[in-house]
Amino acid sequence: MHTKPATKALLFDVFGTVLDWRTSIVEELAAFGNTHSIELDCEAVADRWRVGFRDHQRKIAQDAAPFMRMDDVHRRVLDRLFAGLGVAGVPEANLQELNQAWHRLRPWPDAVAGLTRLKERYTVAALSNGNLSMLVGVSKYAGLPWDCVFSTAMFSAYKPDPAVYWGAAKMLEAPPHEAMMVAAHAYDVDAAREIGLQTAYVFRADEFGPGQGEDPGDTSRFDFAVGDLLELADALA
């Protein structure tokens, strides 16, 4: 932790950093299972859905798969998961509705209050691999008070491509050292750090289930390492 840097713009990862995707998705899967009388290990399915999404997204980022928007990747992974589990006969409209669960995610308890405090002093912007309409939808649902919303699709790239961090900072007319990437995933924060952005790592202890947080390694490489967005607001006050 060093002295407070000059910061104009805070760029936030959304899924996992601001939104608690797992709790929401597990609940939606449980409701879906009840409605259709399908027995699902909802926690396992939620985790495999997320992992499947990230694997496919990595392939796209490495040009090993064609570009596909986040909603479509979610659907593709869901279809494969259900095929593997022998889930069949669900009407298309209900599958679409279930896939839309990723637009109905709850924020972490500190997120709205933390963003609201940070917004008083800084520009707070979403920077996510989600498609813009999804980001807008989920932000409305969760009441996230963004100053502006960037989808990496605007820069024709996916995180952790450096073009994305440069692009967002440039749009906000912030030199890289006056922009800060805030995320709960080390790969994301590290990529921003490598091109000169400031960094805040948010340790989400329960992102992948109770007590199942990411292990980021030694956090001294980040400008800030915090437990939630209220702690970040304190640190940047």
SS (HEC) of 60-76: HHCCCCCCCCHHHHHHH
Task: With CB under 8 A as the rule, give the number of residues binding a copy of itself.
Answer: 23
For residues 175 and 125, give the distance between their C-alpha atoms in angstroms, rounded to a whole number. 15
CA pair distance 17, 131, nearest whole angstrom:
17
DSSP state of 219: G
The residues that bridge with 124 in the sheet, in sequence order, are 10
According to DSSP, the β-strands at 148-151 and 198-202 are: unpaired
Chain Cα centroid distance, residue 116: 18
Which of 145/209 has CB closer to a copy of itself?
145
Residue number, 29 or 135, with CB nearest to a copy of itself: 135
Under the binding rule (CB under 8 A), the answer on residue 119 touching a copy of itself is yes
Over the window 160 to 189, marking each residue x when it contacts a copy of itself by CB under 8 A and - when it does not, the resulting string is -----------xxxx---------------
Nearer to a copy of itself, 151 or 199 (CB): 151
Residues 123-162 that bind a copy of itself (CB under 8 A): 123, 125, 131-133, 135-137, 139-140, 145-149, 151, 153-154
At closest approach, how far in Å is the CB of 172 from a copy of itself? 5
Rounded Cα gap, residues 152 and 161, in angstroms: 9
Residue number, 102 or 222, with CB nearest to a copy of itself: 102
At its nearest, how many Å lie between a copy of itself and the CB of residue 15?
17
How far apart are alpha carbons 199 and 142 in whole angstroms?
24
CB of residue 180 to a copy of itself, shortest distance in Å: 16
Q: How many helices (H) and strands (E) does the chain have?
A: 9, 8
- In the complex, least distance from residue 173 CB atom to a copy of itself, rounded to whole angstroms: 4
Contacting residues toward a copy of itself, per CB under 8 A? 119, 123, 125, 131-133, 135-137, 139-140, 145-149, 151, 153-154, 171-174
